[in-house]
Amino acid sequence: MKKQDRAHLKLLSDVGEILSLLTGSSDITEFLQRVTTKLASHLNTAVCSIYLYDEKSDDIVLTTTVGLKASSVGVTRLRLEEGLVGKALRELKHIVLEKASLHPEFKYFPETGEDPYECFLAVPMRRGVERIGVLVLQREAPHKFTESEVHLVLALTSQLAGTLENARALLALQSGTIQPENRADKLPTFLQGKSVCPGVKSGPAYVFRRRASLIPEGAAKEGESVDLETAISATAKELTALQQQLANRLPEAASLISEAQLLMLTDPGFVGAMKAKVVEGAPPAQAVSDIARKYIRLFENSTHAYLREKASDVEDLALRILKNLFPLENDARSSYKNQVVVARDLFPSDILKLAAENVNAIVLVGGGTTSHVAILARSLQIPSIIIDFQELLQIRDGEFVLVDGENGHLYVNPEEETRRKYEKHIQTTEDISVLASKIQEETRTRDGIRVRLMSNINLLGELDLALQLKAEGIGLYRTEFPFLVRDTFPSCNDQLQIYRELFQRMAGREITIRTLDAGGDKMLSYFDTDGEPNPELGLCSIRLTLSHPEILEDQLKAILLARENQNRIRIMFPMIASPDEFLTAKEMVVQQWKKLPTETRGELPQIGMMLELPAVVDLMDEFVRIADFFSIGTNDFVQYMLAVDRSNERVADFYCPHHPAVLRGINRMVRPALAAGKDVSVCGEMAHDPKYLRFFVGIGIRKLSIDPNTIPEIQQCLATETCASMEKYAQDLLKCTSIREIENLIGA
């Protein structure tokens, strides 16, 4: 390693040590001065300055400097539109110049005394899209900044950004420019979002904090507590009850949530260490907090994503123990029962906990309606909405809110008239039995053409609703949720129990079961996918299971064993890109089928594939020869056809199902399949929308797989349309050459 490289590495290390000194420091100005002094000395620069962005005044302020006049600190201010520093922060690009004064955007500040320092380097600091400030280095000519030095400073600013963001906030607090305010009072009383799961619910708001506060280090909680053994015993009973409640509601989840926590309650390194601290004289609450904090740090510093996620389990467990230490201060009810949870993000296991503890509703701050968390909320029938309004996370816990999951509305402290209106709505909303009585056994268009309405199923708990609403079968059983919500891959026997119940309860009906579709926005926390630069284009879906055939073999074996001679069970593979992939996966089914005893083997099940990649559009003639049936996954087809990550809210406006390429691509896939007499269905979100529903039927689709609660609406919609009118509508759409032209036609 070169001497200069070693010196640069030492600087990075030294800066890391300096950053650690910020914690607990009462003098932020001194801290910033030490950082600039260290950088100026190492990089041999006459000037090193930090400018911080003041959001309130929209100014960039010289906050600390080495080399410029000390009197200019806090005095030199410029706008984003001013000078080279403003340009760097405005455009979020670094600027390196040999003679700064010759640049057309150079602005002179006489109070700084910067006249001799023409060699100039300005590097903006940011966190995501938030501007923090600018690090500026200056030298006298001709000592220009080398490419190596520029790269080093870029690395340094990345390391400094987070700490300087905190320093900026602390300085603002010290100066009084930030005053404590009641953010809840500033929230709008009405917010428009998107519906995730229908239903109207109200209750006190509860902001879901993954890093909930434990007792601060060194502080002992006051109050009358029970002994630690009693609190641990109460916690174990609480977790066991939660586990049983969850298992009853969600067989797929079994004991996944509480199992690890119950094990920790018997771990001598965890509760044993707590008890040891109590013996040494520590208050029980302090002992719980100290040991929990130690484990949280260990997990958070792990290189494995699976272990990092365990930090939240430890904190959840510690908070339960703390609550049980002070039973008189805490009522017996769940933290989430009858509340409206507001959250930035949730893991599938979080959704399951909320469901098990009877949350009233969920408000997701950002995200997409096609994310697996949103799908799971729908599956559990928790009224849910998505609102892209970050300030909502500042709402006070306990603030009364009303969630209208039908229309995506949120009311904060609604007026009495609004409450009465929704109470009346809830009372008059038709229940499932009334809806079911209006559903016909068969769905037909106005001119009598039969369309089969199948159900999408994520969890066994949805089967009752599908049966009540007369779904003709299961058009898509998503098998990934038992994988997503566990701590490790479910065994063949675990899967067998789930599939057997599914097949028995839907006996006599057609069931299409899709093999594991993990990865992308459905990451398995226990499967090492760290380092995937773009998960949606990475090792996911059929690629993942073919790369690890033991996973797919276990799943296929479980499906085939669970069939028990039922011949209407179909197996479908996701994200197929080539005939080679499909034939490899199909051969695995055949091999597992041949291993079964002859008397229980039954017929080889039909084997089909999802149509969701643009690659299949021009290969349909080949696929028609080797696949038994097809199902169009519109969510992924739109995503991959338009190169739009459907889980990225920043590009949500580009996710356009009515793009001409999407509609024409779907039509091109459907035509050869129907011409060959192959079964084609649609199972994505587009199938729930009447304007696309008419298009699908118009191009010849006669089977739709939809969420069960949408069956009444879809059946009613089809009953009002003739097949001829929908065929004309589809042809008109296919002739359109622009998005705007299509929007005019469909009334979007």
Supply the residues annotated as catalytic: 372, 683
Distance CA 646, CA 636 (A): 8
CB of 374 closer than 8 Å to CB of 399: no
In sequence order, the β-bridge partners of residue 478 are: 514
The angle, 0 to 180 degrees and rounded to 10, between the axes of the packed helices 372-379 and 348-356 is 20
Q: Where are the beta strands (DSSP E) in 327-485?
A: 340-343, 361-364, 384-386, 400-404, 409-412, 452-457, 473-478
State the pairing for strand pair 47-54/130-139. Answer: antiparallel
State the DSSP string of 347-358: -HHHHHHHHHTT
Q: Tell me which DSSP letter residue 52 carries.
A: E
Distance CA 580, CA 484 (A): 28
**What are φ and ψ of residue 87, in 5° steps?**
-65, -45
CB of 141 closer than 8 Å to CB of 119: yes
**In angstroms, how far is CA 572 from the centroid of its own chain?**
26
- The DSSP element (H or E) to which 621 belongs, if any, is helix 620-626
State the DSSP string of 683-702: -SGGGGSHHHHHHHHHTT--
What sign has the CA pseudo-torsion 680, 681, 685, 691? Answer: positive
Where do runs of H (alpha helix) occur along 629-738?
A: 634-642, 660-675, 690-698, 711-719, 723-735
In sequence order, the β-bridge partners of residue 60 are: 53, 78
The angle, 0 to 180 degrees and rounded to 10, between the axes of the packed helices 660-675 and 634-642 is 130
Rounded to a whole number of angstroms, the CA Rg of the chain reads 30
State the pairing for strand pair 194-197/190-192. Answer: unpaired
Please report, as a single letter, which amino acid is at residue 139. Answer: R
Residue appearing with tokens 């040999």: 98
CA distances (Å), 685 to each of 249, 368, 633, 642, 647, in order? 25, 12, 8, 16, 14
- Residue 63: strand, helix, or coil: strand
Q: What string of H, E and C letters represents the secondary structure of 244-266?
A: HHHHHHCCCCCCCCCHHHHHHCC
Distance CA 116, CA 67 (A): 11
**What are φ and ψ of residue 339, in 5° steps?**
-110, 165
Distance CA 149, CA 151 (A): 5
Distance CA 666, CA 621 (A): 14
Helix, strand counts (H, E) of the chain: 28, 22
Cβ atoms < 10 Å from Cβ of 431: 7
Distance CA 589, CA 570 (A): 11
Q: Which tokens in the block code for residue 167?
A: 């320093």
Distance CA 118, CA 141 (A): 6
What sign has the CA pseudo-torsion 392, 393, 399, 404? Answer: positive
CB of 475 closer than 8 Å to CB of 512: yes
CB of 607 closer than 8 Å to CB of 627: yes
